[in-house]
Structure 1
Amino acid sequence: MRALVWHGKEDIRCDEVTDPEIEDARDAIIKVTSCAICGSDLHLYHNYIPAMMPGDIMGHEMMGEVVEVGSGVNQALKKGERIVVPFTIFCGQCVQCRQGNYSLCRRTNRRKDLADKVFGHTTAGLFGYTHLTGGYPGGQAEYLRVPFADKTHIKVPQGIPDETLLFLGDIFPTGWQAAVQCEIGPLDTVAVWGCGPVGQMAIRSAILLGAKQVIAIDHLPERLSMAAAGGAVTINFSTESVVARLNDLTDGEGPEKCIDAVGMESHVGFGQPDTLFDRFKQITLLESDRPHVLREMIYVCQPGGVLSIPGVYGGLVDNIPFGLAMNKGLTIRTGQTHVNRWTDELLRLIEDKKIDPSFVVTHKADLADGPQLYRVFRDKQDSCIKVVLTT
């Protein structure tokens, strides 16, 4: 089969690889019909996340048709059914899964030895990501083995296009969880840093959850236009002071709720001198992540407010004003998304036409074009916001 394969830093190729096979009674095989390139794939593309190995298959946003099931999956899935595959692999039985904390599953990370050393406790296994999260082959491929498939799936109906449903596996529930973690009230202003795909979903989720005002912060015109079309007030950080504009929009109080949809690769434009210094420290291995957005959120958030962090961080950050966060009484909520906790509700929103997540798609191509589109997505060429690949 064809698959997008990691060969090293900024080296993704479309290779012929061995078809997956059933390895366990709880496995299923799907024929992938659509997959996507995610912003967190770029962390692997840039080799900022450790423990990638040449030959690893990329991708954690995918959907398709079930073509084979293990003997332990027969009651949950059948051949021919259409499913979205969540990026988190979960057993459904451990203490974390029973609490709905699917991204913290205690059983599915087959490299628990690595995860325990780096994270202190194991995370769930993730598709198409680092060996810190199990080293599972990803879904930017023609076929995918789904472990623990009796739990790790989202059944979806016929008649709705792939692009509308595909993002149930990651960016839609990630943006939704980011907004839910804010505990949004009807008088709240929610500020969202980063208007990439997750930021766009967070913006629309905050509006659906009843925020009084949503403010979107970025510098790319196409992203800001998309955010404005979704109902947000926009701030272009390359031409305006984020702090001054937030004060103007909140009568000097600051937003009650702040969402970091940027993560470890804050653009140098986000914070002027401190992000330039962060880049230097990153290059010289004095820190692994660029945390300007975290600093700015702590500074501007209203006392008693909430910081929600769906943006991916991989390691060490420096010069975080934690004393300020403590004295302002801020609540900080983070974590990989517990995808299946939210998908029933989100699928209903799609079926009720309250939202169509396909609004975020700007580029659609064949899987073979994936290596080129990784570069287009990285460089934000051709107003690229979200890439969907078909097989």
Structure 2
Amino acid sequence: MRSMVYRGPYKVRVEEKDMPPIEHPNDAIVRVTMAAICGSDLHLYHGMMPDTRVGMTFGHEFIGVVEQVGPSVERLKPGDRVMVPFNVYCGSCYFCARGLYSNCHNVNPNATAVGGIYGYSHTCGGYDGGQSEYVRVPFADVGPGLIPGWMDDEDAVLLTDALPTGYFGAQLGDIVEGDTVVVFGAGPVGLFAAKSAWLMGAGRVIVIDHLEYRLEKARTFAHAETYNFVEYDDIVVQLKKATDYLGADVVIDAVGAEADGNFLQHVTSSKLKLQGGSPIALNWAIDSVRKGGTVSVVGAYGPIFSAVKFGDAMNKGLTLRMNQCPVKRQWPRLFEHIRDGYLKPSDIVTHRIPLEHIAEGYHIFSAKLDDCIKPLVVPTPA
């Protein structure tokens, strides 16, 4: 089969790999019909994620058709059209029983916090991802879901991570009717978080970024007020002015350790603004939320050695909520919103890239070329 393969920082290419076998009776093999490149894939692409091994296939957002199932699989059969959450999880451990699928205890021997994630290095379990023609899906009776007949493929693939994560970010904010919500980051997750905030009763939604084309999308897709932080000496002061000097009720960090910058910058956080390995966005969130407010964090963070303003958070009486999204838990309500016309996830898609050209796709997305917001990956037809 043909697969995207990692060959080192900024080096990916398409190679022939062996077809994935059934390794366990609960496995399924899925023929990928559509995948996506996620902003968090850029951490891997830039060589910033520990234990990202040469030869690995990325991709934690994908849908496809079941090709083969193991002898213990009961809920799927060959030919089924499925969407696969980015979480690899067992469905039966202490955490899965409580809906914390992203914290599964049985799927990742290399970490005590996060469970398994497709295509996201050996720190997240070492599972090959879906930027490929075929992928092995463990615990096939637990994770994958059937794609409703009325749902488009491009909407379905965004339900495997980006949309649920943005919705989860708004959900963690405990938004009540009339709240002012600020979202840092106008990438796909930030756009979906802003859109979801309205669905939860927000009275005002403000999005912060530094790329004008993404801010334009925040205005047209999420109907948000926007600020470009490079235009202000201090974006926190501007947000205070915009909120009667109280601060926002809820702030969502959809940036995380932005996938930019070199290793030294990641370790020392010497790069300013929303840059790599730095908690700048998180500290802005802590500073710009009102006293007694809530900060929701769904941006991807790895090890960070620079200071988070935890003392300020404590003294302001903030509630901090965060996690990797338990994707499947969000699906029932999101299906309703899509079917009823309140959400059209594929409205944020800007690029559709053949698998054979994925190296160019990563370059375009990484360098923010051609007003790229969300690139999809389409396997080359046989």
TM-score by length of 2: 0.94
CA contact (8 A) 1:35 1:389 kept: yes
- The amino acid of 1:16's aligned partner reads E
Match for residue 71 of structure 2?
71
Residue 107 of structure 1 corresponds to 106
Moved more, 348-357 or 131-140: 348-357
The one of 121, 138, 152 equivalent to 2:129 is 138
User: Which of residues 325, 338, 347 in structure 1 aligns to 2:326?
Assistant: 338
Runs of 4+ in 1 over 3 A off after TM superposition: 277-280
Q: Distance in 2 between matches of 1:321 and 1:328?
A: 11
Q: Residue 257 of structure 1: which of 250, 254, 260 is its match?
A: 250
Aligned pair count reads 372
Find 2:230's aligned residue among 238, 257, 262: 238
Instruction: Map Cα deviations across residues 52-76 of structure 1 (whole Å, 9 max, x no partner).
Output: 1110011100001111111111x21
More helix by share: 1
Larger deviation: 80-89 or 247-256?
A: 247-256
Question: Which one of the candidate residues 241, 246, 252 is aligned to 1:248?
Answer: 241
SS of the aligned residue for 2:292 comes to coil
CA distance in 2, matches of 1:7, 1:262: 26
Identify the range of structure 1 (166-175 vs 339-348) with the bigger mean alpha-carbon deviation: 339-348
1:101-250 map, 5 Å = 101-109=100-108, 112=109, 114-115=110-111, 121-229=112-220, 230-240=222-232, 241-250=234-243
Equivalent residue for 2:40?
40
Shift of 1:265: 2.0
In the alignment, structure 1 segments of 5+ residues that lack a partner are: 116-120, 269-276
Residues 267 and 306 in structure 2, CA contact (< 8 A), matched pair in contact too? no
| SS of residue matched to 2:248 | coil
Residue 84 of structure 1: CA displacement? Answer: 0.7
Whether 2:308 is the aligned partner of 1:349: answer no
Q: Tell me, what secondary structure is at the counterpart of 2:226?
A: strand
Structure 2 residue matching 1:381: 3-state secondary structure: coil
Cα distance between partner residues in 2 of 1:278 and 1:90? 34
Deviation of the 1:323 alpha carbon: 1.2
1:22 aligns to what? Answer: 22
User: What amino acid sits opposite 2:227 in the alignment?
Assistant: I
- Does 1:388 find its partner at 2:382? no
Cα gap change, 1:262 to 1:107, in 2 (>3 Å): same
Deviation at 1:283, TM superposition (A): 8.0
CA contact (8 A) 1:40 1:312 kept: yes
Is 2:316 aligned against 1:328?
yes
Alignment of 1:31 onto 2:31:
yes
2:277 aligned with 1:318: no
2:280 is aligned with 1:292: yes
Structure 1 vs Structure 2 CA RMSD: 1.8
Query: Which residue is 1:96 aligned to?
Result: 95
Whole-angstrom CA distance in 2 between matches of 1:366 and 1:267 = 25
Give structure 2 stretches of 5+ with no counterpart: none
1:4-30 deviation line (CA, Å, top 9, x unaligned): 111111111111111112111110111
The whole-number CA distance in structure 2 between the counterparts of 1:154 and 1:164 is: 14
Q: Percent same amino acid at aligned positions?
A: 42
Bigger shift: 49-58 or 235-244? 235-244
The equivalent of 2:79 in structure 1 is 80
Per-residue deviation at 1:244?
Answer: 3.1
Matched, 1:6 2:6: yes
The 2-side partners of 1:261 and 1:88 are apart by 18
1:280 to partner: Cα distance: 7.3
Q: How much has 1:370 moved relative to structure 2? A: 0.7
SS in 2 for 1:383: coil
Residue by residue, what CA displacement relative to the aligned partner does 1:335-372 show, whole Å, maximum 9, x if unpaired? Answer: 11111111121112112221110011000021111111
Residue 282 of structure 1 deviates from its aligned partner by 5.0
SS in 2 for 1:95: coil
